[in-house]
Amino acid sequence: MKTIAGELVGTALLVLLGDGVVAACLLKRSKAQNAGWMVITTGWAMAVAVAVYAVFRISGAHLNPAITLALALTGKFPWAQVPFYLIAQLVGGFLGGVLVWLSYLPHWRETEEPDLKLMVFSTVPAIRRLPANLLTEVIGTFVLMFGVLAILANTAPLESGLAPLLIGFLVWAIGLSLGAPTGYAINPARDLGPRLAHMVLPIPYKGSSDWGYAWVPVVGPVLGGALGAFAYVKLFG
């Protein structure tokens, strides 16, 4: 139960800080409104680093179904624990979305554009071409999984305590280089959990939760994570 709680709390913290910076930059009358992509990618990188630091010793800080499944597929994580980790991550993502909604409670009515409200919770592609969007998510999550395994394979970052910070830098690099086409979910729980929160929360004039796109930030990261893990194990494992 302690490890499951770690995944739930860690994922909630990840989404709270990550979606929180998106809310800060997009919602009307926020003091950070229009701060831009650099602020968003930096905020997400810091969110990942803080969340991994918070629960790494407790659950391993997967915080991402794509990572959990990839590790299980490559024999680095027991399949018996996979369903519990996935549920914890999804619930954590949902709770993180609810906390962002509460943190910016007065700003939802001030913001008229439904798309901006959805982008706080979930990814929205810059150009909606589902095959291309899927490919972007596959590539981004491939880099994430490959990079995480590479960082953790080195003993120095683990012994020095710098591994979570380096993983945050990795997510920062992915966001800056590969994140602009789709908003770089690279994590099904980060998109699906908050999207569910967007669907059920009483957000004024919120519009659709765009379930027609919701499969892309789930399938893409799962495929990319598995490919990244297999590539690392075959090349360097």
pLDDT (tens digit, 9 = 90+) per residue, 147-158? 999 999 999 988
Q: Do the beta carbons of residue 66 and residue 145 sit within 8 Å?
A: yes
Dihedral, CA atoms, 62, 67, 69, 74, nearest 10 degrees? Answer: -110
Residue 31: count other Cβ atoms within 10 Å of its Cβ. Answer: 6
Amino acid at the residue 167: I
Distances 10 to 3, 56, 115, 162 between C-alpha atoms, Å: 10, 9, 27, 18
Domain boundaries, the chain: 2-236
What whole-number distance in Å separates Cα of residue 45 and Cα of residue 176?
Answer: 10
pLDDT tens sequence across 195-231: 999 999 999 999 999 999 999 999 999 999 999 999 9
The upper half-sphere exposure of residue 30, i.e. CA atoms within 13 Å in the direction of its Cβ, equals 23
Q: 237 falls in which pLDDT band (50, 70, 90)?
A: confident
Fold of domain 2-236: Glycerol uptake facilitator protein (1.20.1080)
pLDDT at 232: 98
**How many residues belong to the chain?**
237
| Mean pLDDT value of segment 80-109 | 98
* Axis crossing angle, helix 163-178 with helix 130-153, rounded to the nearest 10: 160
Rounded mean pLDDT, 77-99: 98
